[in-house]
């Protein structure tokens, strides 16, 4: 039993996680090159006409990437870390309806602040890097436009599964359940573990000109996981955030507001952003109080399995 990673020095566990993450990242790159290389070439060519077959193949590539890069290393990290592998990375047997409802309200209330952070990001300039970043952003937007083409309700359901559900599960297992957990044990400093995890979360999304809102979302998810020790709540928030983005594109032609949201064109005044932030902090405090009421029921004598 003492061979589990949670009984090893924190640095050993952290390096083991990095090794798993790196190995599966290499594996995903190999799978992409072997099976989906033509898709990448088509998407990088500005003048290429992307066929429906290419779009379908790209969606398979995205799903495979989420599973290989995020889900597999997280589950292996949990397996080698503790005999209670799933609870160790936050997959608890129970969740509170009240806390889940508060988590949904938190996501809704914090949107003006996240949108405002996006506006700051858009106004920022990066000197000599600006041109390269704009080109990367244009490529990212092109890929998203291709991916989000939806001609039927079936296309919507497929995109909700591949772009909302699978990434929500995979990224929460990887970033909050595994990376933040390992960093918290390594640093013994919650705010530092949450911040570093959020930075990595934002950087790996590959869109530097949207890094502040993604970082803000990561902070919120990290704090919610830390105070609840339950990954189901962050998976719910992450799924709904992604699902709303997909739905806003699908229904964009039916509403001017949704059209602006789908193109990140909705502006928020500063006062609304700060009111949003204050409300969000209040909801997180409420979530902590409610979580503290149920935590004794799920924490065992080996409470390290449940510390976020």
pLDDT over 60 (residue 190): yes
Over residues 249-262, the mean pLDDT reads 67
The rounded percent of the chain whose pLDDT value lies above 70 is 87
pLDDT over 60 (residue 307): no
28 in any annotated domain? no
Burial of residue 71 (number of CB atoms within 10 Å: 0-12, 13-18, 19+)? middle
What is the predicted pLDDT for the residue at 43?
65
54 in any annotated domain? no
97 in any annotated domain? yes
pLDDT over 80 (residue 41): no
What is the predicted pLDDT for the residue at 77?
97
For residues 255 and 16, the model is more confident at 16
pLDDT over 50 (residue 301): no
| Count of helices and strands (H, E) across the chain | 16, 0
Separation between Cα atoms, residue 295 and residue 300, nearest integer Å: 10
Over residues 92-120, the mean pLDDT reads 94
69 in any annotated domain? no
What is the predicted pLDDT for the residue at 264?
60
230 in any annotated domain? yes
Over residues 43-68, the mean pLDDT reads 80
What is the predicted pLDDT for the residue at 292?
87
47 in any annotated domain? no
49 in any annotated domain? no
The rounded percent of the chain whose pLDDT value lies above 90 is 61
Q: Which domain holds residue 183?
A: 91-305
Over residues 237-259, the mean pLDDT reads 82
79 in any annotated domain? no
pLDDT in tens, 56-75: 888 888 899 999 999 999 99
| Structure-block tokens of residue 203 | 């950087």
Separation between Cα atoms, residue 199 and residue 94, nearest integer Å: 29
- What does pLDDT average to over the chain? 87
For residues 127 and 274, the model is more confident at 274
What is the predicted pLDDT for the residue at 296?
57
**31 C-beta neighbours (distance < 10 Å), count:** 15
Is the distance from CB of 225 to CB of 173 less than 8 angstroms?
Answer: no
Confidence of residue 44 (pLDDT cuts 50, 70, 90): low
Total tally of structural domains belonging to the chain: 1
């Amino acid at each position: 039993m003492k061979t589990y990673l949670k009984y090893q020095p924190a640095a050993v566990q952290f390096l083991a996680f990095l090794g798993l993450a790196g190995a599966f990242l290499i594996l995903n790159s190999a799978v992409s090159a072997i099976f989906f290389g033509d898709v990448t070439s088509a998407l990088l060519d500005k003048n290429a006409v992307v066929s429906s077959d290419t779009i379908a193949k790209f969606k398979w590539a995205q799903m495979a990437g989420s599973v290989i890069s995020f889900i597999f290393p997280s589950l292996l990290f949990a397996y080698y870390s503790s005999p209670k592998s799933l609870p160790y990375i936050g997959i608890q047997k129970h969740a509170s309806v009240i806390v889940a409802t508060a988590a949904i309200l938190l996501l809704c209330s914090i949107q003006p602040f996240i949108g405002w952070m996006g506006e700051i990001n858009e106004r920022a300039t990066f000197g000599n890097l600006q041109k390269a970043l704009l080109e990367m952003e244009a490529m990212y937007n092109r890929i998203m436009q291709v991916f989000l083409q939806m001609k039927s309700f079936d296309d919507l359901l497929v995109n909700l599964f591949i772009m909302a559900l699978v990434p929500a599960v995979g990224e929460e297992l990887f970033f909050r359940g595994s990376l933040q957990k390992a960093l918290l044990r390594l640093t013994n400093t919650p705010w530092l573990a949450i911040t570093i995890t959020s930075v990595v979360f934002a950087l790996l999304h590959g869109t530097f000109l949207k890094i502040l809102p993604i970082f803000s979302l990561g902070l919120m998810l990290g704090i919610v996981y830390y105070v609840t020790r339950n990954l189901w709540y962050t998976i719910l928030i992450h799924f709904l955030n992604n699902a709303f983005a997909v739905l806003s594109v699908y229904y964009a032609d039916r509403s001017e507001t949704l059209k602006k949201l789908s193109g990140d064109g909705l502006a928020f005044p500063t006062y609304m952003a700060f009111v949003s932030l204050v409300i969000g902090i209040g909801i997180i405090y409420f979530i902590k109080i409610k979580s503290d009421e149920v935590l004794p029921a799920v924490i065992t004598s080996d409470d390290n399995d449940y510390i976020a």
